[in-house]
Chains A and B, each alone.
Chain A
């Protein structure tokens, strides 16, 4: 039910993102989803890839600071109110969202929401109880 995500520390200087993506491409690693959070001085790149360990190893080898965290992926129908319905459950359960990002899958029918929660087990339980579909890492990569 959990999805492994890698996070990379980025200084705000030009070309860093391009460098990371080309390293991953050169090693045959496919990026399924990504988001960048940034401040005035630095950024954090979060990635969901098909080969987590390999991605981590090659980025580290190229001098990046890489971390691995666990997130959950929730599939909702891609229509108005899709995200709102999930957030309503989150709010009612009193869950704290550290951050989230989303993408639409190839079929265009469903959206995938990536959440980073403090209390990941409770989040999974509450969302499943409310009937939401939680994806595994393999499922995301197979989309």
Chain B
């Protein structure tokens, strides 16, 4: 199969050429950020590094990391490098773990983003003439609009269907002849089940490829989605702090890793404990530096995603390094049906309910295709009652509060005291029985 590229020259550039572009851009970035953003300047000064110290790509290691809290501390626009009248778009995280993190884009950023997203779509075999069914959420979340602009840039027809209203989505797929599906992998399975219930045979649809991201998924899940929706499933990676969807993309030729669009996003793999950069090919925490973003560049952002970089040449001819499917997190964040959940949020909800003690454990399972979260709460003497009704009300109150605060449905199970294992150091708050 002949590979199609969006920007062939850069996508197949020998690494020496690529690295010289990266270095030039990195130096410009560091100088600009140092000059315009006080929090970055202060951190660099504290680390004793100046822009002129960056003379090779390896010098990147001299720069301090940026973490999610840096974004919160400078909420909302403190890390922007351009005046607000140059910003044409803002996106934000949901902010369930604290203040939302806000990112901004200049018009050139939007164009860069559309460009990398168009590259990603071409990687997946999409082309002008495709009907792109974009079921990523539109709004503050970067997924919907990010994919949208890329598909338009490509010249494909976008159906901005966003998330939800599954029956209507299937009718649209049928009537409009959707050829490319963009969604979370779990939503893709949900679509497959609904098709089954509606008596719609996926083989009667025109779907050819599905581009799935925004949550971790396994090879088994890939096979299942491919079989049930009768399409080829590929993985896309992105995060709003770096850009949004289109940071890295799997090509059709291989299912071993996603090409990182390294002329814009410079990846590193570090040891999450020491912060040391690991030798090529080793598994660790993924760190990104944006090389071309104007409004909200970021230096050495710790994603907390665990991956590995693959430098071996790819069959597709792209010289861009590949990142392995994300295999875990360095923190305890859980992704349940696409919703980010931190055990600390669950604890916060429990503690806000009178007399509930913080002895709890979260059990996550996958039943069929659906993730379920059960919160086991120990019944202490203060919350215990001899009346069933009182205890059932308590369970329900917790369930409702969790749904309200975290946006995810859970089941509360009351358990006897001391049945949740007490650990010596850090309590084991989560038992994840999903096989991802």
A interface residues (Cβ-Cβ under 8 A, vs B): 5, 7, 9-11, 37, 39, 41-42, 44, 46, 63-67, 69, 98-99, 116
Contacts and interface: CB of A to CB of B under 8 A. Distances in A.
B20 interface: no
B387 A99 contact: yes
Given A5-B386, A64-B417, A65-B417, 7 more contacts: A9-B379, A39-B388, A42-B391, A44-B386, A44-B387, A66-B381, A116-B386
B384 A37 contact: no
A41 B388 CA distance: 11
A5 to B, nearest CB: 7
B419 interface: yes
B387 A98 contact: yes
Contact of A65 (B379, B387, B389, B392): B379
Interface stretch (B131-139, B197-205, B253-261, B408-416): B408-416
Contacts of A11: 414-416, 419
Contacts of A37: 388
Contacts of B387: 44, 98-99, 116
B414 A42 contact: yes
B418 interface: yes
Nearest to A40: B413
B131 to A, nearest CB: 47
Contacts of B55: none
Q: Which 9 A-B pairs have the closest CB atoms?
A: A7-B386, A9-B379, A69-B386, A65-B384, A67-B384, A11-B416, A65-B379, A37-B388, A63-B418
B383 to A, nearest CB: 9
Interface in B358-406: 379-381, 384-389, 391-392
Contacts of B414: 9, 11, 41-42
A129 B87 CA distance: 81
Contacts of A69: 386
A5 B384 CA distance: 14
A101 to B, nearest CB: 12
Contacts of B379: 9, 42, 65
B416 A65 contact: yes
Contacts of A5: 386
Nearest to B374: A41
Contacts of A65: 379-381, 384, 416-417
Main secondary structure of the interface of B (DSSP, over half): loop
**B392, B416, B419: which has the most chain A beta carbons within 10 Å?**
B416
Contacts, number: 53
A46 B386 contact: yes
Given A63-B417, A64-B416, A65-B416, A44 B381 contact: no
A68 to B, nearest CB: 9
Contacts of B385: 7, 44, 67
Interface string B152-188: 0000000000000000000000000000000000000
Nearest to B380: A65
A65 B419 CA distance: 11
Contacts of B419: 11
Contacts of A7: 384-386
B416 A10 contact: yes
A64 B381 CA distance: 9
A96 to B, nearest CB: 11
Interface in B338-371: none
Given A39-B392, A42-B391, A44-B391, A67 B386 contact: yes
Nearest to B386: A7
Interface in B296-337: none
A53 to B, nearest CB: 15
Interface in B243-278: none
Given A42-B414, A63-B417, A9 B388 contact: no
A65 B414 CA distance: 12
Of A39, A65, A66, chain B has the most CB atoms within 10 Å of the CB of: A65
26 contacts: A5-B386, A9-B384, A9-B416, A10-B416, A11-B414, A11-B416, A37-B388, A41-B413, A41-B414, A42-B379, A42-B413, A42-B414, A42-B415, A44-B387, A44-B391, A46-B386, A63-B417, A64-B416, A65-B417, A66-B384, A67-B381, A67-B386, A69-B386, A99-B387, A99-B388, A116-B386
A122 B428 CA distance: 49
Nearest to A16: B416
B250 to A, nearest CB: 43
Contacts of B416: 9-11, 63-65
Interface in B217-251: none
Contacts of A44: 385-388, 391
Nearest to A9: B379
